[in-house]
Amino acid sequence: MKKKLFSGIQPSGDVHLGNYLGAIKKWVNLVNDYDCIFCIVDYHAITVDYDASTMQQRILNATASNLAAGLDPEKCVIFAQSHVREHTELAWILNTVISMGHLDRMTQYKEKSEQHKSNVNVGLFTYPVLQAADILLYKGEVVPVGEDQVQHIELAREIARKFNNKFGEIFPEPMEQLSESARIMGLDGKNKMSKSMNNYISLVEPPESIWKKLSTAVTDENRKRRNDPGDPAICNIYTLHKGFSSDSQIEEVRAGCKSAGIGCVDCKKILNENITTELAPIREKNNELIAKPDYIYDVLQTGAKKCSEIAAQTMEEVREAIGVKPSR
Active-site annotation holder among 195, 242, 258, 306: 195
Closest distance of CB 22 from ligand TYM, Å: 2
Given a contact cutoff of 8 angstroms between Cβ atoms, the answer to whether 109 and 70 are in contact is: no
Question: Taking contact as CB under 6 A, which single stretch among the options 17-25, 252-260, 284-292, 312-320 is the one that binds ligand TYM?
Answer: 17-25
For 209-237, the three-class secondary structure string (H helix, E strand, C coil) is HHHHHHHCCCCCCCCCCCCCCCCHHHCHH
Q: Which is nearer to ligand TYM, 194 or 272 (CB)?
A: 194
Q: Is 86 in the site for ligand TYM (CB under 6 A)?
A: no
Given a contact cutoff of 8 angstroms between Cβ atoms, the answer to whether 131 and 152 are in contact is: yes
Q: How far apart are CA 310 and CA 14, in angstroms?
A: 30
Q: How far apart are CA 81 and CA 88, in angstroms?
A: 9
Q: How far apart are CA 277 and CA 249, in angstroms?
A: 15
Q: Which of 5, 6, 40, 243 binds ligand TYM (CB under 6 A)?
A: 6
Please choose, from the candidates 221, 228, 262, 259, the residue with its C-alpha nearest in 3D space to the C-alpha of residue 245.
Answer: 262
**Where are the alpha helices (H) located in 116-224, listed in sequence order?**
122-137, 150-167, 207-215
Q: How far apart are CA 177 and CA 263, in angstroms?
A: 35
Q: Is 7 in the site for ligand TYM (CB under 6 A)?
A: yes
Active site residue 117: no
Given a contact cutoff of 8 angstroms between Cβ atoms, the answer to whether 179 and 41 are in contact is: no
Q: Which is nearer to ligand TYM, 22 or 303 (CB)?
A: 22
Per-residue string for binding with ligand TYM, 39-68, x by CB under 6 A?
A: --x--x------------------------
What values do phi and psi take at 199, rounded to 5?
-125, 35
Active site residue 195: yes
Q: Which of 42, 86, 134, 220 binds ligand TYM (CB under 6 A)?
A: 134
Active-site annotation holder among 4, 25, 26, 192: 192
Active site residue 190: no
Max CA distance (Å), the chain = 74
Closest distance of CB 164 from ligand TYM, Å: 19
Distance of CA 251 to the CA centre of its chain: 28
Closest distance of CB 144 from ligand TYM, Å: 7
Given a contact cutoff of 8 angstroms between Cβ atoms, the answer to whether 132 and 171 are in contact is: no
Q: Of residues 182-241, which lie at the interface with ligand TYM (CB under 6 A)?
A: 182-184, 192-194
Per-residue string for binding with ligand TYM, 148-167, x by CB under 6 A?
A: xx--x---------------
Given a contact cutoff of 8 angstroms between Cβ atoms, the answer to whether 272 and 211 are in contact is: yes
Q: Is 19 in the site for ligand TYM (CB under 6 A)?
A: yes
Q: Is 171 in the site for ligand TYM (CB under 6 A)?
A: no
**Where are the alpha helices (H) located in 34-85, listed in sequence order?**
42-45, 55-68
Q: Which is nearer to ligand TYM, 129 or 318 (CB)?
A: 129
Q: Is 8 in the site for ligand TYM (CB under 6 A)?
A: yes
Q: Is 131 in the site for ligand TYM (CB under 6 A)?
A: yes
Residue nearest to ligand TYM (CB): 22
Q: Is 71 in the site for ligand TYM (CB under 6 A)?
A: no
Q: Which residues belong to the active site?
A: 112, 192, 195
| Binding residues for ligand TYM (CB under 6 A) | 6-10, 18-19, 22-23, 41, 44, 131, 134-135, 143, 145-146, 148-149, 152, 182-184, 192-194
